[in-house]
């Protein structure tokens, strides 16, 4: 048995409930508390998982036996809660986007480094077998050079969410991180179109990311389409790849072969939280770093700037 890691969850909305569930299921992890300013919400999740309910962030962070927390609150609160947590010596997983602004992200990452704690950002698709396999295929080189990558993340807005950001930072950000991860670096330029058809913030976007070396990526996302899709396609020198984030199915077509993946479905959130727990337990860098969170947030800001100006934005 490994060292017991004691976790807490701040925010028990739609996604925070999943964090609490996974922590309660992981071996060698103890969920010592959940926190929400809505007493009924905190009580319900605490009772479900046999843990304590807290109604104030400071009260949860004051627990001496707390090793790590997940911040699953609205984006505008991430920075304040994250700073409090690292100053209390807690390891932090903060859901995307890491903070509201790039400057806040830089300050939070610096504070975590200074405090000697680990900080990771909730880019869940990094832990999806579809993205892991595509990254492996690129590095193995069997399909030759990658030429283009395109993603579609479309579907209705979750009514349970607190809407303080638009579709770029809330939804498309996952694919920006995935394409950056596959490409092995950030784009050189960004161009995007988008707007708000039905909502306060932008609710649709189509962005083109130029990664150099003849590699382009496109990201389509919206909060409009009734039917939910989460897909990625890759065109390579010697074949094409089509993947479905939700079913985790992959189809690879080359001149000679048509291959279907046989991967067993895995819950990406469980893989993500397990990996961060392991990084804490073994004192190694997390798979997704605070610097990753900064860089992806910068790309999202460039996308929003391009939407506003109608211009290509150098990155």
Domains, the chain: 5-124+270-285 (3.40.50.720), 125-266+298-314 (3.30.360.10)
In the predicted structure, residue 192 carries a pLDDT above the cut 90: yes
| Residue entry with tokens 């104030």 | 56
Predicted TM-score (pTM) of this structure = 0.95
Q: What percent of the chain has pLDDT over 90?
A: 90
In the three-class reduction of DSSP (H, G, I as helix; E, B as strand; rest coil), residue 4 is classed as coil
Nearest to 297 by CA among 149, 186, 148: 186
pLDDT at position 2 over 80: no
Cα separation, 94 vs 173, whole angstroms = 14
Contact 164, 289 (CB under 8 A): no
**Is residue 262 scored above 90 in pLDDT?**
no
pLDDT the model gives residue 161: 56
Q: In this model, does residue 47 exceed pLDDT 70?
A: yes
Q: What is the mean pLDDT of residues 22-33?
A: 97
In this prediction, residue 245 carries a pLDDT of 97
- How far apart, in whole angstroms, are the C-alpha atoms of residue 141 and residue 143? 5
Give the mean pLDDT of the chain: 95
- Burial code (b: 16+ CB inside 10 Å, e: under 16) for 236-251 equals beebebebbbeebbbe
pLDDT higher than threshold 70 for residue 314 = yes
Q: pLDDT tier at 315 (50, 70, 90 boundaries)? A: confident
Contact call for residues 102 and 298 (beta carbons, < 8 A): yes
Strands 215-222 and 229-236: unpaired
Task: Compute the half-sphere exposure of residue 221: CA atoms within 13 Å on the CB side of its CA.
Answer: 22
């Amino acid at each position: 048995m490994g060292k017991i890691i004691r976790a807490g969850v701040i925010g028990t909305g739609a996604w925070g409930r999943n964090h609490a569930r996974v922590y309660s299921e992981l071996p060698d992890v103890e969920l010592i508390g959940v926190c929400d300013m809505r007493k009924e919400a905190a009580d319900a999740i605490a009772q479900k998982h046999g843990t304590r309910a807290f109604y104030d962030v400071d009260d949860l962070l004051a627990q001496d036996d707390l090793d790590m927390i997940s911040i699953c609150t609205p984006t505008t609160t991430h920075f304040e809660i994250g700073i409090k947590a690292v100053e209390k010596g807690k390891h932090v997983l903060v859901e995307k986007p890491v903070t509201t602004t790039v400057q806040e992200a830089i300050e939070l990452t610096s504070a975590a480094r200074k405090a000697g704690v680990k900080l990771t950002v909730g880019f869940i698709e990094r832990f999806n077998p579809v993205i892991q396999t595509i990254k492996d295929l690129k590095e193995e080189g069997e399909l030759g050079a990658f030429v283009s990558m395109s993603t579609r993340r479309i579907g209705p807005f979750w009514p349970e969410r607190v809407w303080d950001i638009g579709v770029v930072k809330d939804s498309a950000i996952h694919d920006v991180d995935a394409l950056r991860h596959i490409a092995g670096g950030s784009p050189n330029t960004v161009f995007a179109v988008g707007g708000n058809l039905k909502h306060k913030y932008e609710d649709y976007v189509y962005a083109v990311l130029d990664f150099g070396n003849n590699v382009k990526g496109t990201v389509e996302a919206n909060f409009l389409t009734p039917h939910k899709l989460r897909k990625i396609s890759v065109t390579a020198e010697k074949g094409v790849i089509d993947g479905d984030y939700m079913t985790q199915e992959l189809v690879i077509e080359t001149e000679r072969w048509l291959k279907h993946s046989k991967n067993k479905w895995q819950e990406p959130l469980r893989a993500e939280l397990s990996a961060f727990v392991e990084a804490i337990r073994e004192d190694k860098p997390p798979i997704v770093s605070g610097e990753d969170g900064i860089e992806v947030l910068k790309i999202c800001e460039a996308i929003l700037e391009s939407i506003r100006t109608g211009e290509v934005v150098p990155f």
